[in-house]
Chains A and B, each alone.
Chain A
Amino acid sequence: MGTITESKRQLAWVFDLNKCIGCQTCSVACKVLWPQQDPGTEQMWWMTVNTKPGRGTPRDWEAMGGGYDAHGKLVLGKVPTPEEIGGGWDFNYDEVLRGGRGSDVHLHKTSGAKSWGMNWDEDEGAGEFPNAYYFYLPRLCNHCTRPACVEACPKDAIFKREEDGLVLRDEDRCEGAQRCSSACPYKKIYFNSARGVSQHCIGCFPRIEQRVAPACVRQCPGRAAFIGFLDDEDSAVAKLVKKWKVALPLHPESGTEPNVYYVPPLSPAPLREDGSFDESGDRIPPSYLESLFGPGVHAVLKSLRAELDKKRRGLDSEVLDTLILYRWKDALGHLDRDPAEIVWN
């Protein structure tokens, strides 16, 4: 079993769910950058965005267990099956475009999961029209302070990097036991059947080593993603998480102390039975948000509403100014270098 070491500093991500538009740019940027299209990686999406409420990726991952129990004891859960992870599709391009069969064949999947994908329940949500509700939840490895995967690994292949707290896997040491996957309450670990190892988000460590932000953050067109050291008081991340406390981890009850935080979603006023606006009502049930972000979510939403009200009255709001992000590079903390400047020898 692995041992969790304490890192000197901790990098953290913040996603503002009031800015995330579910475009999957983070997912695609990650998939294109890292070897997630090599043999054995077809189903891998280290970064994903899902519509919530929804079954997500892997399908029903929130019911698969893992993490720590109330006594701090490691809990092993389920390892998602390939069908639950979904996707991994190839298509019959040659048959359709060059096969000479005309409209008898159409472009369709020739491999992979039958009825699930990384974003299968996109834009579905819950509720009843016109009071349907949904929002987008981007997810990657949480680079937890107390990573269950590290503790679960029989080969001690997973570790927290000392200088920034990234949870990394020594893939030369990993033997593919998948206990990490069973222990991870977020199910963000994938198995590479071609190589016989597991893989997960590497926190873009080669970029971070060059002072360049991870691809998911740097490519986010919604300007919903932030990164930085939690102890760097100047970073937007520290301000949002530590100073104003408007960003919360997902499923804090997992006990792993995630380092990916979320500004929880506001939502439009619901409509009463007669169609008039119910200004004081909640479109997204608060209990649902509490089930994701813990009981602290109510105070955060209250505080966000108060800040919005301040702005509408012409007053200043440092919290909202941070989220507005007048200067995009302020989202990147110390990782604000333009990668194209780098010249490799």
Chain B
Amino acid sequence: MASIQGNWADAYRDKWKWDKTTWGTHCVDCYPSNCPYHVYVRDGRVIREEPAGDFQTIEPGVPDMNPAGCQKGASWSQMLYGKERVLHPLRRAGERGEGRWERISWDEALTDIADAMLDAIEESGVESIVRIGTPAEGGTQSMALSGGVLDRIGVTSTDVQSEINDFNPGLYATFGRFDPAASNDDWFHSDLLLIWANNPAYSAIPFYHYVAEARYNGAEVVTIAPDYNPSAIHGDYFVPVRIGSDAALALSMCRVIVDEGLVNESFVREQTDLALLVRTDNARFLRQCDLEEGGSESIFHLFDQHSGRIVEAPRTLDLGALAPALDGSFRATLADGVEVEVAPAFTHLRHRLEDYSPEDASVMCGVHPENIRELARKVASRRTHILLGWTTGKAYHGDLMERSMCLLLALTGNWGKQGAGIRSWAVGMFDGQFILRDKPRSGQEATREIVAGQQAMIDAMLAEDPTATKEIIIAEMSYAGALPINAVPSAFFWYHHCGYREAWNNAGWGDPSMKRTFDEYVDEAVEKGWWQGSATQAAQAPPRVLFEIGGNLLRRQRGGQRMLLEHLWPKLRMIVSVDWRMSTTGLHSDIVLPAAQHYEKPNFPYTTPDVMNLTFSDRAVEPQGESRSEWQITLALAKKLTERAKARDLVEIRNGNGERVRLDRLYEEISFDGALADDDAVIDEIIRDSAVMGTIPADTTLESLREKGWVRFIDWGLSPMALAQASDLSPNETHSPFRWQTEKKEPFPTLTRRAQFYIDHEWFLEAGEELPVHKEAPAQGGDHPFQITSGHPRWSVNSMNSTSSIILGTIRGEPVAHINDGDAAARGIENGQSMRVFNDLASVVVQARVTPAVQPGQLVMYNGFEPYQFKGWQDFSNVEPGMVKWLHLAGGYGHLRYRALHWQPVPIDRAVRVDIERAS
């Protein structure tokens, strides 16, 4: 076989050899992750990794998902041994952020932390301990297991959704779920892919191929973006939109569809609220309570063309023999005998769309009227999937953009079938990790009891309302705070403790259509009880101890470094960072605890419908230095907390809800008397529990996954985002969400039980946003000529890989911002030179990348770089005011209520205004 000989050739052959392989995968935050890798180990060292490439074909005629990986995955082993690794517990020996450390023992570190926690509890209550709700590395260890002790004693956890803001408020407002997540192979079924506010060539490297392959299969690919981004280059059409004008474009396409008679009327009648009657006098839906004393507020009405009468709308999507009118004006007699005019919401929509003729919209969005018409006709005639990214949710009026996109799909019948729909993200199905804390004892018998209890509760609630679904019931439990996710919406924490109140009240940076101050809206929202106890809880407890486990708050938070270091940090007596690498947050912490890296512990990334597999990552090598898995850190902290609590005779405390929490048996409780103290034991327990819960095959165990590496899910389980998929989980079909709506006529979990485009909440009416509308982005940061757009970088999963020396070698070795060539020339800035980016808030220096691919007036700053990669550590978060949209404080309305990971104010960073000059 080996025809060539010589030492040199043998050296290469030898270089490739290994002793053993284990299964490995990485963090979820590149989304969807779950790429199965083989990790190659030699002489006790991980030498490299490579995709397993062993996915089978799911649906005949659809390409398989292999090989699934990327350049970050291909160099994860390099970070294992990188210089950014933290290998020992460290205590700050200088000022915060100085980078002067004292190496201490685990015992010392945990003692310091436990004492600080107990001080805080005694002084200000356990809610003064804050766990930042970070997706961290998005794994079972760092998310589910690391919370063991903190969640149990009732610390304040900020909601991960607002921390990261990968929320799609417009999808949520429309569907009562923000998280349709087709499996990536479903893209192949599309006839028209609209890559919109998204750059999958960067953000979905393992799965972008489905776009290219769908195109080869006959689909057209259209990219709608301000800049000619790397996903646009392989499309058929590039539609450059003015920054922030996407709603105008979508609404104009809707207008064309309506004008040209292309509306899929039966779909609109069945799936949406557009046939529901709205009162002309007050712009509110006609409710049962309008018509009869003591009537329901959540029964709505249609005008049935067959009977010529106003009838109650069914609480499911099954219209039976009804033929609801979409147009017309009708009379209804109210309970008090007064007669009012009512008209279907569709009539109001027609009126709204009058503002969006292609010619008018062209002025708003910069797209040629004929292009708008052509695009509209394409959408109306083809199976269309909007490949939405997570940029819209980070735009001030991103909810309006999303609602407009959903409307476009509604009018054309484009959801609930393969190859159609709109995309966000979802996690779920690996349900064992969610019930661990609720189990009275270890073992699967306890799991079966819990499952039976849950089923009985669901059955009882379904018996009460047979038109409901399991999803609706779980959502209701979540609204009531009954699910084991202990979160408060971060916005209130920021408002009260982190200095954001001033920015949010800055009229110049907020929505010009706000009729009152931000403070007034906050007060009203709290007064009306729209935010339950969560708002007051955050307001009352002064933050004293902060945990950031695997995340990087000071990199991630909009406006974060400036705001948090100035306002929050001085209030904190102890800041703990748990991480395998030294982040900017780590540098500003009091104690850094070294976590095991991905190849040093058994773990799973969060699981998603995009890939539909449970993907195992094993301990290829022992944790380096003194690093430990998050589970071991949790258990050690539990032990220490009990020991120190006993020493000060503080064995029982009260949490924020006034419930008693005992501190004297924490380790025993969390580890099930030591039965699950071992990493393998707890991971095996979670796997077996998931099997009992029916989401993975019954014979799945840690051992079977060590053998096979991954397993396809067989059912959704009970987590909200999994149920939101609302389609059968088929073993041999791609997954397309919402098929239970189109095929089984199950209701949406919204107020009206339909896809809801008309929102008659008083604040939405006040804002003029009862229907989708285009609004210009406010001048966040001041009146300056450039707008910053951002996005997930190609080269890093958040900041995780941004300091990897090998990855830095594939870019310019430092942060760059992309500026249009004409803009750069006008300012005398040459490619590679430093430029100063500034606004009313701050000034940042960054290297310029000059390119005609960027729109004039746009500055693209891909995120992910550590602040400490910028001069003076001044990164782009410094020029972001970190606004939230006031309207997202609205509540008390059907699905517009807070539940963990869902409806809440989320931070904005798109279209921040800056000016730019050449740096001296």
A interface residues, Cβ below 8 angstroms from B: 16, 18-19, 21-25, 27-29, 31-35, 37, 45, 87, 89-91, 93-94, 96-103, 106-109, 112, 115, 117-120, 122-130, 132-135, 161-163, 168-172, 202, 205-207, 209, 215, 218-224, 265-269, 271, 274-277, 308, 311-314, 317, 320-321, 323-329, 338-340, 344
Contact = CB atoms under 8 A, between A and B. Distances in A.
A122 B831 CA distance: 12
B866 A32 contact: no
B176 to A, nearest CB: 34
Nearest to A283: B238
A25 B19 CA distance: 24
B366 interface: yes
Nearest to B209: A223
Given A28-B806, A271-B368, A340-B50, 20 more contacts: A18-B212, A18-B216, A19-B234, A25-B71, A91-B803, A107-B868, A112-B813, A117-B809, A117-B810, A119-B810, A168-B9, A170-B6, A170-B9, A218-B53, A222-B209, A224-B209, A311-B217, A317-B216, A324-B217, A326-B63
Interface in B189-238: 201, 205-206, 208-209, 212-213, 215-218, 220, 223, 228, 230-238
A221 B852 contact: no
A132 B811 CA distance: 21
B820 A340 contact: no
A202 B218 CA distance: 38
14 contacts: A21-B201, A25-B70, A97-B587, A102-B97, A107-B803, A107-B866, A115-B832, A124-B853, A130-B238, A170-B8, A220-B67, A271-B368, A277-B370, A325-B63
B720 interface: no
B811 A122 contact: yes
A164 to B, nearest CB: 9
A328 B64 contact: yes
A323 to B, nearest CB: 6
A268 B99 contact: no
Contacts of B854: 129
Contacts of B99: 96-102
B101 A34 contact: no
Nearest to A172: B8
B812 interface: yes
A282 to B, nearest CB: 13
A338 B83 contact: no
B852 A126 contact: yes
Contacts of B362: 275
B805 interface: yes
B48 A32 contact: yes
Nearest to B94: A100
A338 B811 CA distance: 31
B368 A274 contact: yes
Q: What is the predominant secondary structure among interface residues of chain B facing chain A?
A: loop
Nearest to B191: A312
Nearest to A320: B216
Contact of B368 (A123, A215, A275, A321): A275
Given A25-B74, A170-B6, A218-B67, A130 B812 contact: no
Given A106-B868, A106-B870, A324-B217, A21 B67 contact: no
B741 to A, nearest CB: 28
A132 B17 CA distance: 45
Nearest to A266: B234
Contacts of B12: 34, 202, 205-206
Interface in B105-161: none
B3 A162 contact: yes
Contact of A344 (B18, B201, B237, B374): B18
A231 B100 CA distance: 63
B4 A161 contact: yes
Interface stretch (B54-62, B340-348, B569-577, B617-625): B54-62
Interface of B: 1-4, 6-9, 12-13, 15-19, 21, 38, 48, 50-55, 57, 61-64, 66-71, 73-75, 77-78, 83-84, 93-95, 97-101, 201, 205-206, 208-209, 212-213, 215-218, 220, 223, 228, 230-238, 240, 362, 366-368, 370-371, 374, 582, 587, 794-795, 803, 805-814, 818, 820-822, 831-832, 849-856, 866, 868-873
A204 B232 CA distance: 33
A128 B234 contact: no
A117 B238 contact: no
A325 B807 CA distance: 29
B235 A221 contact: no
A129 B853 contact: yes
Contact of B853 (A31, A98, A119, A132): A132
Most A CB contacts (10 A, CB to CB) among B3, B67, B78, B205 go to B67
B233 A135 contact: yes
B808 A91 contact: yes
Contacts of A93: 83-84, 803
A132 B368 contact: no
Contacts of B234: 18-19, 21, 265-266
B868 A311 contact: no
A210 B78 CA distance: 25
A266 B201 CA distance: 16
Contact of A24 (B71, B77, B98): B71
A329 to B, nearest CB: 8
B877 to A, nearest CB: 14
B77 to A, nearest CB: 7
B872 A103 contact: yes
B233 to A, nearest CB: 6
A218 to B, nearest CB: 7
Contacts of B19: 344
Nearest to A269: B237
Contacts of B213: 19, 223, 323-325
B807 to A, nearest CB: 7
B218 A89 contact: no
Contacts of A45: 809
A72 to B, nearest CB: 28
A108 B99 CA distance: 16
Contact of A32 (B4, B74, B238): B74
A209 B67 CA distance: 21
B74 A28 contact: yes
Contacts of A265: 233-234
Given A117-B809, A120-B812, A221-B68, A106 B872 contact: yes
A129 B856 CA distance: 8
A28 B808 CA distance: 11
Nearest to B233: A135
B50 A218 contact: yes
A205 B296 CA distance: 74
Contacts of B95: 102
B62 A276 contact: no
B852 A25 contact: no
Contacts of A129: 228, 240, 820-822, 852-856
Given A97-B99, A129-B228, A276-B371, A32 B803 contact: no
A171 B7 CA distance: 9
Contact of A118 (B15, B809, B850): B809
Contacts of B69: 25, 219, 221
Nearest to B871: A106
A34 B13 CA distance: 10
A326 B6 contact: no
Given A29-B50, A106-B873, A340-B21, A97 B74 contact: no
Contacts of A221: 51, 67-70, 205-206, 208-209
A161 to B, nearest CB: 6
B813 A32 contact: no
Nearest to A328: B66
A312 to B, nearest CB: 5
Contacts of B855: 129-130
Contacts of A171: 8
A314 B70 contact: no
Given A119-B811, A122-B811, A219-B51, A103 B873 contact: yes
A94 B83 contact: yes
A68 B795 CA distance: 38
